């Protein structure tokens, strides 16, 4: 039986003292892929921030990749983030260094020391996103889709148990969005658990997965109509 990678029970999500989501119950098992949809301001980002430790879980119970969100200490957040791969809408690559050096920076920051192991890992993740020949390039030399592939590669570096993708196609044109989704699909097929916040309904229709919706301060699962 698959174990829960992410579980929230009667959780309330607050941001800046305001209640954003209440009575949130989620149970995402190993190997599942969920979309998280909802209007701007409905709570998607606040939920994501709570899951990777940017916002505290003030009310209710929650566990994510073995960490207790309710009692999460600041000192534990870096360890939590090593077990989660986070992909942002705006890529968040370091502009002053190459693709390879971006990935090396993350590995060294998370305790990797052996040069050969670092090199092998970087090549492995770049290969997964079909960017193996682009490691020497600077981020500004890449298209938006290529930058997002590098961001996905970065999220895979520490072999995370869960990938949180926050609007990963939000800054991309439709055809590039499909290419990036294909990369995420392949990663999912390899056994990774993914929670992806999006308002890109064309992607949701093209790649069919379970869907959670934020609406009126609550989260519930919706059944997508297939076309």
Tell me whether residue 101 is in a domain.
Answer: yes
Within the chain, which residues score under 50 in pLDDT?
A: 227
Closest CA to 184 of 207, 201, 202: 207
Tell me whether residue 83 is in a domain.
Answer: yes
Domain span holding position 42: 4-222
Distance CA 179, CA 169 (A): 10
Q: Is the dihedral of CA 85, 27, 182, 177 positive or negative?
A: negative
Distance CA 168, CA 89 (A): 5
Domains in the chain, number: 1
Closest CA to 72 of 83, 91, 87, 57: 57
Question: For position 51, which CATH number holds?
Answer: 3.40.50.300
Tell me whether residue 37 is in a domain.
Answer: yes
Distance CA 8, CA 68 (A): 10
Tell me whether residue 132 is in a domain.
Answer: yes
Tokens for 94? 């370091």
User: Who's near 10: CB < 8 A, 6+ residues apart?
Assistant: 23, 24, 25, 59, 60, 61
Distance CA 191, CA 178 (A): 20
Give the model's pLDDT for residue 227.
42
Find out whether 181 and 20 touch, Cβ atoms under 8 Å. Answer: no
Helix axes 115-128, 174-189, angle to 10 degrees: 120
Tell me whether residue 227 is in a domain.
Answer: no
How far from 32 is each of 4, 20, 42, CA to CA, in Å?
Answer: 10, 25, 23
Tokens for 204? 């949701």
Phi-psi domain of 43 (left: phi exceeds 0; alpha: psi -120 through 50; beta: other): left
Give the model's pLDDT for residue 171.
87
Distance CA 179, CA 139 (A): 18
């Amino acid at each position: 039986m698959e174990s829960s990678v992410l579980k929230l029970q009667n959780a309330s999500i607050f941001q800046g003292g305001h209640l954003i989501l209440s009575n949130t119950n989620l149970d995402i098992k190993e190997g599942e892929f969920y979309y998280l949809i909802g209007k701007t301001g409905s709570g998607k980002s606040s939920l994501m921030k709570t899951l990777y430790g940017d916002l505290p879980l003030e009310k209710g119970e929650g566990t994510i990749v073995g960490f207790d969100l309710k009692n999460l200490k600041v000192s534990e957040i870096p360890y939590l983030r090593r077990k989660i791969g986070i992909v942002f809408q705006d890529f968040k690559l370091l502009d002053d260094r190459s693709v390879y050096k971006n990935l090396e920076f993350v590995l060294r920051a998370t305790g990797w020391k052996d040069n050969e192991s670092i090199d092998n890992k970087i090549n492995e993740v770049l290969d997964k996103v079909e960017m193996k020949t682009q490691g020497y390039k600077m981020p500004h030399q890449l298209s938006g889709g290529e930058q997002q592939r590098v961001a996905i590669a970065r999220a895979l570096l520490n072999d995370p148990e869960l990938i949180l993708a926050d609007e990963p196609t939000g800054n991309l044109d439709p055809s590039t969005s499909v290419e990036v989704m294909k990369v995420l699909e392949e990663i999912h097929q390899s056994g990774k658990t993914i929670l992806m916040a999006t308002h890109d309904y064309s992607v949701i229709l093209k790649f069919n997965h379970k869907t959670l919706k934020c609406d009126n301060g609550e989260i519930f699962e919706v059944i997508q109509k297939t076309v």
